A and B are shown apart, each in its own frame.
Chain A
């Protein structure tokens, strides 16, 4: 039999497109990211389960007279983050077509919105810290732990964005396309986690 393509040698838009067309199985990078998401999703599930485990052991929630969280801003911010899944999705589509310039700009657009989201969220968290601290009681502890873990995931995603923007500025390769696809999956997961975390965070007000 003839040997299948050496996909890692695909270093231009044409060859990359060809690899995408001929591929019959997901690349290793895709598998790696899916498994990372599986394990990270379990981490979030454990944290959210912890939140409700603590909540259902008491009649008062939030504990210690802490005010219920306001709903509007967190929902708006989360909607903003979730919308970035669209340019990310389109960026991958463009990269697969070999349209690397489009892929770069769409990813950059998503990154700017995601960075703004993180900034606004951190600002919101600092405001919250003026009202109650994580050391106040179990509610404060799980509230801040949950959102900080989520913010850390957004920050990691931004680092990946920056890395990919730098790489894609130098052109498209099969390796970079796999990276972009993996990053896209990561962001879809972060968006889903954002919804779960926000709904948990807002639970006392819902």
Chain B
């Protein structure tokens, strides 16, 4: 809080600091329930997985630099390709957006002091970490999955993939769905319960609408993936029959279940990025978003419509014509809410007074790449075209423009934007701009030629090609682009790492930002806000009178909630202050529970059923421990 220290104020701040203080050192990080620290843990863990996925991508591109290369064996290439996709989607983009950005920023943006379920929040993180470790134990023990990130049967069935690689894939994903589901529940309840009094839904920042839409999509999309994974493991480990036609099963069942999850997942991946864009644009063009309600509704509509388009991933498998036409039409309809957002971003920028700082550059880059990825995406709604390009590099080009261009660029822009808030220091601006251009050019050099190669018939997932195919030149360019892209990304993180130690002090609000988080100190204190902020619009930080009232309230001890680990709970729509909640503080149970659950998964993969049962009991005990202490006993 930007406060002028008056006699009563420092005493209050000290009292709040004492109340919200966590255990220091390593143990503190292990037992933390502070949403900001959990966000930071998510950030570094998903960054690690980003690095791993990046190395896998570079190995693949090195293999494809020329014809008949032998950097990777066919099996190793399949493993790199499968692990790269799985890592980037499940262990980088979603945890980075929902886990790191969502955790750190949501409570700050809505004026809360923590997430609705702080210990569940910690549990989400620890399960995510254990699930990722589980997948990479498989990779490093020579048991990497090799059937692609969508793991089609029958290739993924026991007959064609007899090793445990697919089991590591399936169980790690099953494990991470628990983490992501609990994370989504936490986001929704936090938004509906913990908004600062006065922040009615129409006064909530668009960033929060995007995260709300994503979380609802996750709640309904993940069970389809869980079902597919459970059925697959029952078939692989216990000899059940779901996907084998000879026993009455159906391989296409896997594809349906996977894509019922998989297509909403595309929007789950890019909607947080849209949310980040709607935070950065108003700040740097110094005006409110054009068509705010339309954008909010479009964010929700995209998440909803995303459930009706899954079979456009399956046009080549032989669907009935009526089914295919329905899914083609639905795929065209979803363009409308996406376009609403796109035109709103562009109009806001054009009608504002842009300051082309690094975060805005990333967002402009994102808009360009999203238009390109969106346009190539629309082409798949033309069924005959889709059937021609299925499983070619054209598809690889399209989804990298969408997932890397449209999802990761705003994440990188967001890292620059909120770096001063999280660390209290400024990054190097020129370096930031250079890193943007390096990455932007690298992205296009890497992925644009893939369109041409795909249209020329180069199949995806092939570990090599012959010189007679005429694909050598473009593949060479793509690989050089990939190295350039890697340099760009490396320069982003080196800039941020150096700035962490040597950057100029940032102050509370270096950008004249629009949302509440800029009103508190950089980095924010454990309790986020000394006074529960007053909110009169979605651009709370631009409402100067409200911020001045906060300062007066702090001096007078109004809305300071300094009797305990407290935060206000509000009514769901109008955000009227309904009750004051005592929030749980640090706890060792979340990591212990995640560890016990890891034991179950490890024993299942080893097929040690008795030991798995022991871990089930330990998990139950950990859940009991989790709930032993009630809030009034804290």
A interface with B by C-beta (< 8 Å): 1, 3-9, 11, 19, 23-28, 31-32, 35-36, 38-40, 42-43, 45-47, 50, 53-54, 57-58, 63-64, 134-135, 137-142, 145, 159, 163, 173, 175-176
CB pair B578–A50 under 8 Å, yes or no, is: no
Q: Closest A-chain residue to B228, C-beta based?
A: A46
CA–CA, A139 and B220, complex, Å: 26
Asked if B335 is at the interface of the complex by the 8 Å CB criterion, the answer is no
- Assuming the contacts A3-B580, A26-B572, asked whether A39 and B240 have C-beta atoms less than 8 A apart, the reply is no
Contacts of B189 in A (CB 8 A): 28, 31-32, 35
**21 A-B pairs, CB-CB below 8 angstroms?**
A1-B577, A4-B568, A5-B580, A7-B579, A11-B632, A19-B579, A23-B578, A31-B193, A35-B184, A35-B185, A40-B223, A42-B220, A46-B257, A50-B231, A57-B248, A138-B242, A141-B241, A141-B249, A145-B234, A145-B240, A175-B630
CB pair A6–B566 under 8 Å, yes or no, is: yes
Asked if B116 is at the interface of the complex by the 8 Å CB criterion, the answer is yes
Contacts of B632 in A (CB 8 A): 8-9, 11, 173, 175
The minimal Cβ–Cβ distance linking B247 to chain A, given in whole angstroms, is: 5
CA–CA, A47 and B230, complex, Å: 10
Map CB proximity to A onto B38-67 as digits: 1 under 8 Å, 0 otherwise. 000000000000000000000000000000
- Assuming the contacts A11-B632, A50-B253, A50-B257, asked whether A23 and B234 have C-beta atoms less than 8 A apart, the reply is no
CB pair B193–A25 under 8 Å, yes or no, is: yes
CA–CA, A141 and B250, complex, Å: 13
CB pair B241–A135 under 8 Å, yes or no, is: yes
The minimal Cβ–Cβ distance linking B285 to chain A, given in whole angstroms, is: 36
Contacts of B224 in A (CB 8 A): 42, 46
CB pair B561–A53 under 8 Å, yes or no, is: no
Asked if B605 is at the interface of the complex by the 8 Å CB criterion, the answer is no
- Assuming the contacts A4-B568, A7-B579, asked whether A137 and B241 have C-beta atoms less than 8 A apart, the reply is yes
Asked if B192 is at the interface of the complex by the 8 Å CB criterion, the answer is yes
CB pair A54–B242 under 8 Å, yes or no, is: yes
The minimal Cβ–Cβ distance linking A39 to chain B, given in whole angstroms, is: 5
Residues of B564-591 at the interface with A, using a CB-CB cut-off of 8 Å, are 566, 568-572, 576-582
Asked if B72 is at the interface of the complex by the 8 Å CB criterion, the answer is no
Residues of B221-237 at the interface with A, using a CB-CB cut-off of 8 Å, are 222-224, 226-227, 230-231, 234-235
CB pair A38–B219 under 8 Å, yes or no, is: yes
CA–CA, A142 and B631, complex, Å: 43
Query: Which of A4, A9, A58 touches B248 (beta carbons < 8 Å)?
Result: A58
CA–CA, A164 and B223, complex, Å: 28
Query: Which of A1, A3, A53, A64 touches B256 (beta carbons < 8 Å)?
Result: A53
Contacts of A42 in B (CB 8 A): 219-220, 223-224
CB pair A138–B223 under 8 Å, yes or no, is: no
CB pair B581–A8 under 8 Å, yes or no, is: yes
Asked if B624 is at the interface of the complex by the 8 Å CB criterion, the answer is yes
CB pair B579–A137 under 8 Å, yes or no, is: no
CB pair B227–A135 under 8 Å, yes or no, is: no
Report, nearest first, the 9 A-B pairs whose CB atoms are least far apart. A138-B248, A46-B227, A141-B240, A42-B223, A43-B223, A25-B571, A8-B631, A7-B579, A31-B189
Contacts of B257 in A (CB 8 A): 46, 50
Asked if B620 is at the interface of the complex by the 8 Å CB criterion, the answer is yes
Contacts of A38 in B (CB 8 A): 219-220
CA–CA, A23 and B569, complex, Å: 11
Contacts of A159 in B (CB 8 A): 620
CA–CA, A58 and B246, complex, Å: 11
CB pair B627–A139 under 8 Å, yes or no, is: no
Asked if B238 is at the interface of the complex by the 8 Å CB criterion, the answer is yes
Asked if B117 is at the interface of the complex by the 8 Å CB criterion, the answer is yes
- Assuming the contacts A4-B568, A35-B185, A141-B240, asked whether A175 and B631 have C-beta atoms less than 8 A apart, the reply is yes
Query: Which of B117, B248, B569, B582 touches A32 (beta carbons < 8 Å)?
Result: B117
The minimal Cβ–Cβ distance linking B553 to chain A, given in whole angstroms, is: 10
Contacts of B241 in A (CB 8 A): 135, 137-138, 140-141
Asked if B489 is at the interface of the complex by the 8 Å CB criterion, the answer is no
CB pair A39–B223 under 8 Å, yes or no, is: yes
Asked if B188 is at the interface of the complex by the 8 Å CB criterion, the answer is yes
- Assuming the contacts A9-B632, A35-B185, asked whether A50 and B227 have C-beta atoms less than 8 A apart, the reply is yes
CA–CA, A26 and B569, complex, Å: 10
The minimal Cβ–Cβ distance linking B256 to chain A, given in whole angstroms, is: 7
CB pair B580–A7 under 8 Å, yes or no, is: yes
Asked if B239 is at the interface of the complex by the 8 Å CB criterion, the answer is yes
CB pair B580–A141 under 8 Å, yes or no, is: no
Query: Which of B220, B226, B570, B581 touches A7 (beta carbons < 8 Å)?
Result: B581
Q: Closest A-chain residue to B583, C-beta based?
A: A8
CB pair B579–A6 under 8 Å, yes or no, is: yes
Query: Which of B188, B220, B234, B577 touches A141 (beta carbons < 8 Å)?
Result: B234
CB pair A135–B240 under 8 Å, yes or no, is: yes
CA–CA, A138 and B632, complex, Å: 51
Most B Cβ at <10 Å: residue of A8, A9, A38, A47: A8
The minimal Cβ–Cβ distance linking B230 to chain A, given in whole angstroms, is: 8
Contacts of B568 in A (CB 8 A): 4
Contacts of B620 in A (CB 8 A): 159
The minimal Cβ–Cβ distance linking A144 to chain B, given in whole angstroms, is: 8
Contacts of A23 in B (CB 8 A): 578-579
CA–CA, A7 and B580, complex, Å: 7
Asked if B287 is at the interface of the complex by the 8 Å CB criterion, the answer is no
Asked if B313 is at the interface of the complex by the 8 Å CB criterion, the answer is no
Contacts of B581 in A (CB 8 A): 6-8, 28
